[in-house]
Structure 1
């Protein structure tokens, strides 16, 4: 998803007009990187679990 704007409540609005809550960007990166480790059924291959940013 691509950041487009913020709505009147300050929430992120992405392409397609969807608004969504956002946690800290570093936390989002860690979640994205760790999901295949936490749930091996997800695509992404085997990961070591290292999360250095």
Structure 2
């Protein structure tokens, strides 16, 4: 918490310029294979992302 306060105060870290919470990183909790080399990744933030994994 101290680092976040210093970041807001001094603006020395580039990572602090965004409005996202730096303590949260979405993670895949389920991956489902789809048709034609696609993978649907269900994230812990409620999102679903489609990835094309063709060779």
Name the TM-score class by shorter chain.
under 0.3
Higher strand share: 2
- Computing the radius of gyration from Cα coordinates, the structure with the larger value is 2
Q: Using structure 2 for the length normalisation, give the TM-score.
A: 0.26
